[in-house]
Structure 1
Amino acid sequence: MVCDISAYSKFEFTNLNCETLNKSYADFEYCYLKSINRTYKYLSIKVNLLKKPIRKVRAALFKRFNGWRPFMFDMTVDACNFLKNTKSNLAAKYFLDFFKPFSNMNHSCPFDHDLIVDKMNIAHINHQFTNVLPFPEGDYFLETHWIAYDIDRAVVKMYGTLS
């Protein structure tokens, strides 16, 4: 008798928060989670860049352990240099792969247009979190700071649960 015991993890968005720290630099046209049905959910963000360029992105992943604690990484990346050679930072590439298929951030600098993440669906996120690099179950949030001239201009926080 052969027993097939397989575990299946599922990622679920729980919240999304987009904050402009300098309205003269950037402003969010929209930032939302949308649930079409029980299985199809997606995230969409559009930020209007009023001044350019955004050069650096700081990203940190947090996991809930009696409060939010840093988990796995906290890094700052020069976005322009990284996009020229995405193999230069494998952790940053892993997180870029979450957004790249749903975004217009698919070329190197300069970005002289608004930045869009359109309908990033839960199935893709679930694949990244469970198949590409499996994560332990729990509550997570990814915090990104969009930086120009060494000043934070915007903060995006994406929250989710892996069960």
Structure 2
Amino acid sequence: MYSFVLLTFLAAGCLKSHINAEFEFRNAVCESLDESFASFEYCYLKSVNRTYKYGSLKVKLHKVPITKIKLNFAIYKRLNGFKPFLYNVTIDACKFLKNRKINPVAAFIFELFESYSNMNHTCPYAHDVFVEKAPASSVRDKLTKVLPFPPGSYGFFSVWYAYGIARAHVNVYGTLS
């Protein structure tokens, strides 16, 4: 009996090690709240094949240079509608880009798309901002290996402020299974 229980636990451990978590983008919604300040040239998700999916966006800034940027972001989980999950953070983006250690949560989120973006320097921003071909696989690795998230549908909601005025919303939805 004892050996049967031990064998069952070992078999379950072996099976568990072969299960791969998958992250899939579901939707991206980008909205400019002040078209005279900034507008989205594009904001989309693309599925190249079954295994390679990515997201891209480009924001055209019309009143540059921008020297004061704040960001509010929140992670929601879908449970009978989207409900707050773990984080709702507001940061001074200019200070954060000078010293990423001031907010580890923001650093974690920023690392999801940092290498696919030109947002890798401190203020001022005197050029258009983009995220190009950020793959779902990169997000999956961070959400399963670095900080394990439970399976489910998630929404990443962000409000971008310049000079204390809300200028844009960027919301990205995905499923971790």
Name the TM-score class by shorter chain. over 0.9
Counterpart Cα distance in 2 of 1:37 and 1:66: 31
In structure 2, the partner of 1:157 is 171
In structure 2, the partner of 1:62 is 76
Higher helix share: 2
Q: Secondary structure of 1:5's partner?
A: helix
Matches within 5 A, 1:110-121: 110-121=124-135
Counterpart Cα distance in 2 of 1:59 and 1:40: 26
Amino acid at match of 1:147: Y
Is 1:5 matched with 2:19? no
In structure 2, the partner of 1:144 is 158
Mark the structure with the bigger radius of gyration: 2
Q: Secondary structure of 2:112's partner?
A: helix
Amino acid at match of 1:8: N
In structure 2, the partner of 1:49 is 61
Counterpart Cα distance in 1 of 2:86 and 2:63: 32
Deviations 1:71-117 (A, max 9, x none): 10111110000010001100000000011010001111111111110
Amino acid at match of 1:135: F
In structure 2, the partner of 1:127 is 141
Structure 2 unmatched runs, 5+: 1-6
Q: Count the aligned residue pairs.
A: 163
State the identity as a percent: 48
Matches within 5 A, 1:76-115: 76-115=90-129
Counterpart Cα distance in 1 of 2:135 and 2:98: 26
Counterpart Cα distance in 2 of 1:25 and 1:99: 24
Is 1:18 matched with 2:30? yes
How far is 1:122 from its partner? Answer: 1.1
Counterpart Cα distance in 1 of 2:126 and 2:32: 18
How far is 1:145 from its partner? Answer: 0.7
Structure 1 unmatched runs, 5+: none
Counterpart Cα distance in 2 of 1:149 and 1:85: 20
Amino acid at match of 1:44: S
Amino acid at match of 1:24: S
Runs of 4+, deviation exceeding 3 Å: none
Q: What TM-score, normalized to structure 1? A: 0.96
